[in-house]
């Protein structure tokens, strides 16, 4: 008799994106009504969230029109899941399920799929290398609520972050190195080239409350830089996609571009917090910031592609799944236990301990 292979459901969490022009407004409403994003009591959050969504719909619709009227994120995430399943197939019966936070497929529908498949165990894998309460934290809370609603009760292990996992850093560095070499070959020898590691920004108040995201972004950059073979490398970290009027962490990507223009330095932009192409890479980086760079007179503007289903990246995810599954922690980082310094009280390990 053949040995029973447990059915392992791997839940891939991501932001989601509108799948048609008419989905832009409701997608934005879902985003800005999330209490993890707009941190106000519901009575205030609802009118404000609706107002912000209405105000941003026109600009967002124009961005998605450049992409054919929809986000490519779901198809790219499904492809990542299929590649990850294939990488794990020799050793486990794994199936990847996609749960998006702000547009279909939502967590509840995905939880029903997992239940129907008859999974024996689950691994929660946010496709955000760095943990933030606004991304991975919100998705994991949403997943738990969905499981309670549909009656899905599985032994589960949660990977909270993998910001400086060696496999992730190595795979990302390979993409950066190839892009750097290509850019360097296209530039005159006398023109310096700087790598801008651009991450999605956060309001400064969220970081000051203990969110570990910014610290983890910096760890990601250090890990990737450590894998590069570029003597005298010039690089910096910056933050994009500010959407509310309060003070956000910086420097902004716009400021980094202005600084490069003053120094007459070409730039290679690497999206360090995104692992799939979507509007913030294909429009914000490739169109808006490229136009700004040209306007500022920057001598060269280049971009590192997102990982998507890059073989090295998928191999890194497979390695993470293996380690999580083999470990004895229900909540773990890429290295096992908590990685964040003590001042980051919104680290999920700190929250779990405080809740115990």
Q: Which residues define the annotated binding site for Fe(2+)?
A: 200, 280
Q: Which helix (H) or strand (E) holds 83?
A: helix 73-88
Cβ atoms 176, 270 nearer than 8 A: yes
What is the token pair recorded at 60?
């967002």
Q: Which helix (H) or strand (E) holds 314?
A: helix 311-326
d(CA 8, CA 52): 40
Binding residues: 200, 280
DSSP, collapsed to helix, strand or coil, labels residue 127 as coil
Q: What is the 3-state secondary structure (H, E, C) of 214-269?
A: HHHHHHHHHHHHHHCCCCCCEEEEEEECCCCCCCECCCEHHHHHHHHHHCCCEEEE
* DSSP string across 160-218: EE-TT-HHHHHHHHHHHHHHHHHHHHHS-TTS-EEEEEEEE--BHHHHHTT--HHHHHH
> Which of 168-194 are b and which e, b meaning 16 or more Cβ less than 10 Å from the residue's Cβ?
bbbbbbbbbbebbeebbeebeeeeebb
**Closest C-alpha to 341, from 332, 330, 352, 349:** 349
> Which of 222-248 are b and which e, b meaning 16 or more Cβ less than 10 Å from the residue's Cβ?
ebbbebbebeeeebebbbbbbbeeeeb
Cβ atoms 267, 186 nearer than 8 A: no
């Amino acid at each position: 008799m053949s040995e029973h292979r447990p059915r392992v459901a791997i839940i891939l969490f991501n932001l989601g994106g509108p799948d048609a022009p008419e989905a832009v407004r409701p997608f934005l409403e879902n985003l800005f009504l999330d209490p993890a994003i707009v941190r106000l009591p519901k009575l205030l959050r609802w009118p404000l969230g609706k107002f912000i969504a209405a105000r941003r719909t026109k600009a967002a619709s124009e961005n998605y029109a450049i992409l054919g009227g929809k986000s490519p994120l779901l198809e790219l995430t499904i492809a990542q899941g299929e590649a990850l399943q294939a990488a794990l197939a020799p050793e486990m019966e794994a199936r990847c399920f996609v749960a998006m936070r702000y547009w279909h497929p939502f967590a509840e529908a995905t939880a029903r799929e997992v239940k129907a498949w008859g999974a024996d165990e689950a691994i929660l894998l946010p496709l955000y290398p760095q943990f933030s309460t606004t991304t991975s934290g919100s998705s994991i809370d949403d997943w738990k609520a969905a499981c309670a609603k549909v009656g899905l009760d599985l032994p589960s292990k949660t990977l909270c972050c993998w910001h400086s996992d060696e496999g992730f850093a190595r795979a990302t560095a390979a993409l950066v190195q190839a892009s750097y070499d290509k850019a360097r070959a296209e530039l005159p020898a006398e023109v310096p080239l700087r790598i801008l590691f651009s991450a999605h920004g956060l309001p400064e108040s969220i970081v000051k409350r203990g969110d570990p995201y910014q610290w983890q972004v910096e760890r990601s950059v250090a890990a990737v830089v450590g894998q590069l073979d570029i003597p005298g490398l010039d690089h910096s970290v910056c933050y994009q996609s500010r959407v509310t009027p309060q003070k956000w962490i910086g420097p902004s990507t716009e400021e980094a571009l202005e600084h490069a223009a003053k120094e007459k330095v070409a730039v290679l932009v690497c999206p360090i917090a995104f692992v799939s192409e979507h509007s913030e890479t294909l429009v914000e980086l490739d169109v808006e910031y490229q136009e700004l760079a040209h306007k500022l007179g920057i001598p060269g503007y280049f971009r590192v592609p997102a990982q998507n289903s890059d073989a090295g990246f998928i191999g890194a995810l497979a390695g993470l799944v293996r380690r999580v599954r083999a470990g004895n922690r229900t909540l773990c980082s890429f290295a096992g236990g908590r990685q964040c310094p003590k001042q980051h009280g919104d680290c999920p390990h700190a929250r779990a301990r405080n809740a115990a």
